[in-house]
Amino acid sequence: MRNLARAYVLTALFWLVAGMGLGLWKGANEAGTTNVNSLLYRPVHVTITMLGFVLLAVYGFIYRLWPQLEMARYASLQFWLSTIGGLLMVIGTYVQVLGGSVWIDGVGAIFVFCGAVLLLFLFLTTAESASPPT
């Protein structure tokens, strides 16, 4: 897969719309309530916006600033680890909110962590050619 910067930003924008949609739905359905359920889906909303939007957008910007990274051998693997890990963490957070197990979230966290470590590795191994455009 090439043009990872675009793929990351497009995925991040999808998560932004999903997170905002959840926030609007949450606000509309829980307006004026004072019970504990008014905060029930907040962790899902935060996971979507922080992992789905912010993290993936930052990765997209990194790939845009250092386009040499896209040519690295494991760049596509890094993309899939990060995006699938983020999806698993969103699903896992939702399951936890409903009183379920943490294992889906844990697997997702491992994927996201491995994606971050792999990006660091890719950046360090292409450091000589990885200078931002002037």
- pLDDT, tens only, 14-70: 999 999 998 888 777 766 665 556 678 889 999 999 989 999 999 999 999 999 999
Nearest to 22 by CA among 103, 97, 80: 97
The answer to whether residue 134 is domain-embedded is no
The answer to whether residue 133 is domain-embedded is no
pLDDT at 132: 57
Alpha-carbon span 15 to 89, nearest angstrom? 13
Full domain range(s) for residue 114: 4-125
Q: What does the pLDDT average to over 3-12? A: 95
Counting the structural domains of the chain, the total is: 1
pLDDT at 134: 58
Alpha-carbon span 118 to 81, nearest angstrom? 9
Q: What sign does the dihedral 81-86-89-90 (CA atoms) show?
A: negative
Tell me the pTM. 0.85
The answer to whether residue 88 is domain-embedded is yes
The answer to whether residue 131 is domain-embedded is no
The answer to whether residue 9 is domain-embedded is yes
First to last CA, the chain: 26
Planar angle of CA 38, 46, 4, nearest 5 degrees: 150
pLDDT at 37: 64
pLDDT at 131: 58
Burial of 84 from C-beta contacts in 10 A (0-12 / 13-18 / 19+): middle
The answer to whether residue 110 is domain-embedded is yes
The answer to whether residue 132 is domain-embedded is no
Amino acid at 52: G
Average confidence score pLDDT of the chain: 88
The answer to whether residue 95 is domain-embedded is yes
CA distances from 101 to 30, 51, 85, 89 (A): 26, 20, 17, 12
pLDDT at 82: 96
